[in-house]
Amino acid sequence: MEILAGRVLLRPADPDVTTAFYRDVLGLAVYREFPGGTVFFLGGGFLEVSGHAAEPAAERTGVALWMQVRDIAAAHKELADRGATIVREPRREPWGLEEMWLTDPDGVKIGIVEIPPEHPLRRDTRGE
């Protein structure tokens, strides 16, 4: 099977509030808007906020989002200044990544990650 594109679909309790969060607080660029939803660029993929759910996503699923940034300290300041609910401040994890965690209006966990230059994820592991 060849995958040509993919996206994460969120069905929030309040689509307007959640769309505003991803657009205005996280600052994600809009890829496409359509009646009933918005699709955001998410690095090499997409995040679609559409539809409506009776209960918050955090109560329905174990989904978490992972977003890599170049500078976690700058991202932390920007998100704090925009009023994001930061549940864990940035810190170096035992596996070597700089991570912080926040939640969206439905309680979906969002990991913001910086990969330090010396980390193995920065190395080409394809043998090229």
Q: What tens digit of pLDDT does each residue of 2-60 get?
A: 665 778 889 898 999 999 999 999 999 999 999 999 999 998 888 888 888 777 666 66
Q: Using CA atoms, how far apart are residues 63 and 8, in angstroms rounded to an integer?
A: 10
Q: Using CA atoms, how far apart are residues 40 and 37, in angstroms rounded to an integer?
A: 10
**pLDDT one-digit tens code per residue, 63-75:** 889 999 999 999 9
Q: Using CA atoms, how far apart are residues 84 and 4, in angstroms rounded to an integer?
A: 33
Q: Looking at the DSSP assignment, which residues form a beta bridge with residue 59?
A: none
Question: Which of 19, 12, 108, 107 minimizes the C-alpha distance to 52?
Answer: 12
Residue 84, burial from CB neighbour count under 10 angstroms (0-12, 13-18, 19+): buried
